[in-house]
Amino acid sequence: MKNKPIYVTQPTLPNFEKFTEKLKELWENKHLTNNGKFHQELEQKLADFLGVKYISLFANGTLALMVGLQALRITGEVITTPYSFVATTHALHWNGIKPVFCDIKEEDTNLDPDKIEALITPQTTAILPVHVYGNPCNNNKIRKIADTYGLKIIYDAAHAFGVEQNGKTILNWGDLSILSFHATKTYNTFEGGAIICKDAQTKKRIDFLKNFGFADEETVVAPGINAKMNEVSAIMGLLQLDLYEENRIKRQMLTKLYEENLKNISGIRFLKELKKLKKNYSYFPVFIDKNKFGKSRNEVYDLLKQNNIFARKYFYPLISQFSTYKELSSAKKANLPVATKIADQVLCLPLYAELKNEEIKRIIDLILWK
C-alpha cells in the first residue's frame, strides 16, 4: 500500500465549532466585508501581537505589495532580489516599475547589501528586499544605503510573521513591511495579507487605496483598487492567532529533528543560524551539493516525489529567468552567480505542525538512501 501524500506544507485549522460560532454571528449581522467587526478586531489584535503601531489588512499579500508601492508613490527602478516568489517582482511590473535584480548572500539567501550601490541609477527610487524563509535581511546596511541615496525601503516580509531579532519585531524596519497570510504560511487567514506602516497618515492613504480610493460615500481621493480582506478570512485570522505559538513550537521541534539527522552529511547545508532570533519555522530549506553528496537536488526531489513526498524547489527557477524578466540586463546569470547556484541546490522539505516524527524519519531515510 502506497504511503499517504506528504506535502511541503499543510495548514493547521482552528476548532470547527469555534469557527461555526463566529460564522453564525457573521450571518446574523450580515456585514460580510468593508471593514466589518471581525476585520477591525483582527487589525487591533495583530498590531498588539506583532508589536507594530499600524497595520492594514488585505485580501492577499500580492495586493498588499501592489498598494504599498502605490502608497509610497514608487516609480522608475527598484532594486530587488531574483530569489523569491514571483509575486515580489510582479507587483513592481503591475505598477510600471522596472525591477533591477541584485545578487544574494549564500549564508542567508537574502539580498546582498554590498552589491546594491553599484546598481543605483538616477531612476532608482526604492529597495525591495525579502526576508527569505523569515531570516532577517541586514537592515543596518540597507538602511544606510537608502538614507545616503534618498531611497525608500519596502520589505517583503511574507515569510516573517512573528519574527523577532534581539527581542524586537523586524516588521517595523523600512518604510513599509508587507505580510502574506496565505494558507501555506505558519499563520494564515485562508488568503490574506497586510501592510505595516509607521504613521496614521500613511495608513489612511493605504486604506483609501485598498477600497477603490473612497474617502466617503461620494468622494474618491485616489485611483484605488479592491483589495480588502473579507470577514470570513478575518474570523479565520482571529482563531489562528490563538494557535500560532503552539504551532510555531511544534515546527521548531520538527526542524530540530531534521537538523540532528542531516547536520553531519557531506553535501547538505542549512542556512546560517542567527543569534537572538525568534523564528517562525515556516520553511526548512536544505542546499544539496551533488559533488559532495552524490545526488543532485533534482534527483532527491524526484526520489521523494516517487514516494508520495512533495518537497518544493523554493525558489527555482529564479524570477530573473522567467520570460517576463529574462531580457533585463540585470537578469543575466553572470550578474547573479550566488542566486543561480542557490536556486540549483535548494529543496524545501515538508514542515507543518501535524507532521509526524516517523514521517520525517521516512523523508530522511529516502534522502540518505544510496
- Encode pLDDT of 329-370 as tens digits: 999 999 999 999 999 999 999 999 999 999 999 999 999 997
pLDDT tens digits, one per residue of 74-108: 999 999 999 999 999 999 999 999 999 999 999 99
Name the band, by pLDDT with cuts 50, 70 and 90, for residue 273: confident
Phi, psi of 265 (to 5 degrees): -90, 120
**What angle is formed at CA 61 by the lines to CA 57 and CA 65, rounded to 5 degrees?**
95
Whether residue 242 contacts residue 133, with contact meaning beta carbons closer than 8 Å, is answered with no
Q: What is the mean pLDDT of the chain?
A: 97
Query: What is the reported pTM?
Result: 0.97
Indicate the DSSP class of residue 321.
G
* Burial of 239 per CB tally in 10 Å (0-12, 13-18, 19+): middle
Instruction: For each of the domains in the chain, give its residue range(s) and CATH number, in order of start.
Output: 16-103+110-239 (3.40.640.10), 244-368 (3.90.1150.10)
What pLDDT was estimated at residue 295? Answer: 97
Region 162-175 average pLDDT:
97
What pLDDT was estimated at residue 2? Answer: 65
231 has a pLDDT exceeding 80: yes
Mapped onto helix, strand or coil, the DSSP state of residue 135 is coil
pLDDT tens digits, one per residue of 1-36: 468 899 999 988 999 999 999 999 999 999 999 999
249 has a pLDDT exceeding 70: yes
Q: Residue 97 has which C-alpha cell?
A: 516599475
In whole angstroms, what is the distance from residue 307 CA to residue 5 CA?
A: 8
272 has a pLDDT exceeding 90: no
What pLDDT was estimated at residue 3? Answer: 81
Q: Residue 133 has which C-alpha cell?
A: 524563509
Among 50-64, 137-151, 191-205, 263-277, the range scoring the smallest mean pLDDT is 263-277
53 has a pLDDT exceeding 90: yes
Strand partners, 128: 80
Whether residue 276 contacts residue 331, with contact meaning beta carbons closer than 8 Å, is answered with no
